[in-house]
Amino acid sequence: MEFTKRLLDRDDSFSTTMLLMSPPFAHNAATYAEKLNASHPEFQFLGLPSVTPPPLEDVLACPEHFVSIFIADHRDHVKDAIFNNVLSSNSPGLVLDLLCTPFVDVAKDLGVPSYIFFDSGAAFLGSMLYLADRFDKGGTTFKRTDPDSIIPSYVNPVPSKVLPSLLFHDGGYSTFVGHARKFKEVKGIIVNTFAELESRAVNYLNGEASVPPVYTVGPVVYHEGNSPEADGNQRDEIMKFVDAHLGHIL
């Protein structure tokens, strides 16, 4: 939402429609959309019909795979929502969360361009794309004892022990390889960073023929007070730590 606000501040000729999914085992997206439409009239929110989530035991087996399957099961609802509410507008496009890559094919079916909004930095985007290249060369899940990885978007070799835990089991690894493959099929990737901060990573990504154009739009942050969902005690602990280390690089 913060990125959309920034986009509209730059050019109010844009119109935006945000599609909301009901989380598994949680509230109804349509009700939540009504509340958001009332509090944010500059946007249009549409709640998608609920889908039956995968079996609960799948969460324990591999949460990354569970979430990806759950999102993919919304394909038909997303296609219907775009067809009925968005296609009539001028030059429609689809901006997707990094986990919503199943909808890249929906955009192709409807003949509209799709973009990924990547809310982490460019170096981490490079590491995800590296996963797909590594897999194509016969790479499998990582082990803690593996040698450091040479990931082009990072200045230094990356120790295996600092990699995300999901890369150490088959389900998480294969799930994110699948997402990374779909990244290469979109028209562009919108990254929450700025070129001066991650010049190496941005230059590398924009120099790769197989990677779509990368657009830096960051830093996109929520800075208007506490989030309603934020843990107040956790925030207080963080602020105390920061106050105690003024003048240090955190």
pLDDT for 59-85, tens place per residue? 888 989 999 999 999 999 999 999 988
Tell whether 136 is covered by a domain.
yes
Tell whether 122 is covered by a domain.
yes
- Residue bearing the bigger pLDDT, 42 or 16: 16
Tell whether 63 is covered by a domain.
yes
φ/ψ bin of 163: left (φ > 0), alpha (ψ from -120 to 50), beta (otherwise): beta
Tell whether 249 is covered by a domain.
no
Which token pair is 146?
């593996």
Handedness of CA 72, 74, 76, 82 (dihedral sign): negative
pLDDT of residue 109: 94
Counting residues of the chain whose pLDDT is more than 70, the rounded percentage is 86
Q: Which domain holds residue 108?
A: 2-244
Tell whether 226 is covered by a domain.
yes
pLDDT tens digits, 17-38: 889 888 886 666 667 667 776 7
pLDDT of residue 110: 92
Tell whether 192 is covered by a domain.
yes
Highest mean pLDDT among 45-54, 135-144, 183-192, 226-235: 183-192
pLDDT of residue 241: 75
Tell whether 250 is covered by a domain.
no
- Our count of domains for the chain comes to 1
- Phi then psi dihedrals of residue 58, to 5 deg: -65, -25
CATH number, residue 109 = 3.40.50.2000
Tell whether 189 is covered by a domain.
yes
pLDDT of residue 156: 94
